[in-house]
Amino acid sequence: MNTHRTNWHVDDEDLAAYGTGSLASVPATSVEAHLMGCQGCRERLARTGQPQDIEDAWLTLADAVDRPSTGPLGRFTGRHNLLRSSIATPTMVAAALAGIVLVVAVPLAAAVVAGDAALVALLVGAPLAPVAAAGLAYRDWADPAGEISLATASAGLPLVAKRAVLVSVGALLAAGISLLVVSTWVAAPAALFFSWCLPGLALSALVMLAGTTRLDPLRVALGLGLTWAAAVVAGSWAPRSLRPEAVLHLLATPALQAAALSVVVVSLFATVARRDLVSYRRTA
């Protein structure tokens, strides 16, 4: 490196302008060449207006580092607070996806395994999955911020419902796709594989309704689930007409589906009407 000494030094004004990047390019080149060989001017440069620059640089860097979330998903959810409060981070996305996969995988796996008895048993038991999910959605530990969330303005039914709808919409899409896949190699009417959906929704809607009462939704979910399981088990010991196959076909009848649908509609209406009691009246 050139270490020659010279009598000419950069004056304060130019040095300051160089430091802030506002010096014209020709004098800037000259100042730069001089700085290469003059330690005194380099030290003076370090003292001129630099701290603010460094501060700015750090702030810019910190801004970039602290940006709420990165990546396409983060940018998307950052703009949409509905999503941000439900699937803001990879972990929450994973939880939502797990919910969707569970709902769809149960009948799909059963169809692939294709053992008749196992298939019907799984299908008959399938409504328990969404019921358990609905019950768990009310636990304070189901939220990343625990009980802190309960005291925020968004707490209550809107938040619980937002998450339920998000999973349901995803599940419906996935169900439609898997329906097409399954129907290519299973002879049974495809509708049979999804006949458990409405009863499952009906039980889940009852759990949501329980969330507006003093009852603990998880206990209600357990109660409903156990009743359902007991009915299924009892059915497998009963005369031929009540065996799981028969239960499954019974589930698929329009009358039962219509009944389940009306339970869904009535429960959801009642829940919406009583929405202000969610997360307030509970004793938990």
Partner 1 sequence: MTILTSVASLEIDELTKTYGRTKALDGVSLSAGRGVIGLLGPNGAGKTTLLRMVATVLAPDSGSLRLLGLDPADPGQRIEIRRRLGYLPQSPGLYANFTPFDLVDYVAVLKEHTDRDWRRDETRRLLESVGLADVMHQKIRRLSGGMKQRVALAAAMVGSPDLLVLDEPANGLDPDQRLQLRSLLSQSSTVLMSTHNISEVGALCQSVYVMFSGRVRFAGTPAELAGLAVGRVWEDDSQDPRAIRSWMTATGAFRHLGEPPAGAQVVDPTLDDGYLFLARQEHR
Q: Where are the alpha helices (DSSP H) in the chain?
A: 12-20, 25-37, 39-47, 50-66, 71-79, 81-87, 90-113, 116-125, 128-137, 157-183, 190-193, 197-210, 217-237, 244-252, 254-273
Cβ nearer to partner 1, comparing 143 with 245: 143
CB of 69 to partner 1, least distance (A): 8
Residue of 139, 200, 213 whose CA lies nearest to 171: 200
Kindly tell me which of 34 and 282 has the beta carbon lying closer to partner 1: 282
User: In which region does residue 256 sit, left (phi positive, over 0), alpha (psi from -120 to 50) or beta (all else)?
Assistant: alpha
Closer CB to partner 1, residue 9 or residue 214? Answer: 214
Rounded distance, CA 185 to CA 49, Å?
A: 74
Applying CB under 8 A, does 155 fall inside the site for partner 1? yes
In whole angstroms, the minimum distance from the beta carbon of 162 to partner 1 comes to 11
Shortest Å distance, C-beta 105 to partner 1: 24
Residues 126-145 touching partner 1, rule: CB under 8 A, are 140-141, 143-145
Q: Which is nearer to partner 1, 133 or 248 (CB)?
A: 133
Q: Which phi and psi (to 5°) does residue 114 adopt? A: 65, 10
Rounded Cα distance, 111 and 210, in Å: 33
Q: 115 vs 144, which CB is nearer to partner 1? A: 144
How far is 117 from 244, CA to CA, in rounded Å? 8
Confirm or reject binding of residue 146 to partner 1 (CB under 8 A).
Answer: yes
Residues in contact with partner 1, counted by CB under 8 A, come to a total of: 37
State residue 195 phi and psi, 5-degree precision: -65, -20
Q: Which is nearer to partner 1, 90 or 176 (CB)?
A: 90
Nearest distance in Å: CB 275, partner 1: 8
Measured from the CB atom, the residue of 54 and 65 that comes closer to partner 1 is 65
**Considering the complex, what minimum distance in angstroms separates the CB of residue 153 from partner 1?**
4
Binding to partner 1, residues 39-98 (CB under 8 A): 62-63, 65-69, 78-79, 81, 84-85, 88-89, 91
Q: Can you say how many angstroms the Cα of residue 85 is from the centroid of all Cα atoms in its chain?
A: 8
By the rule CB under 8 A, 216 interacts with partner 1: no
Cα–Cα dist 186/112, whole Å: 8
Give the binding site for partner 1 (CB under 8 A). Answer: 62-63, 65-69, 78-79, 81, 84-85, 88-89, 91, 140-141, 143-155, 159, 276, 279-283
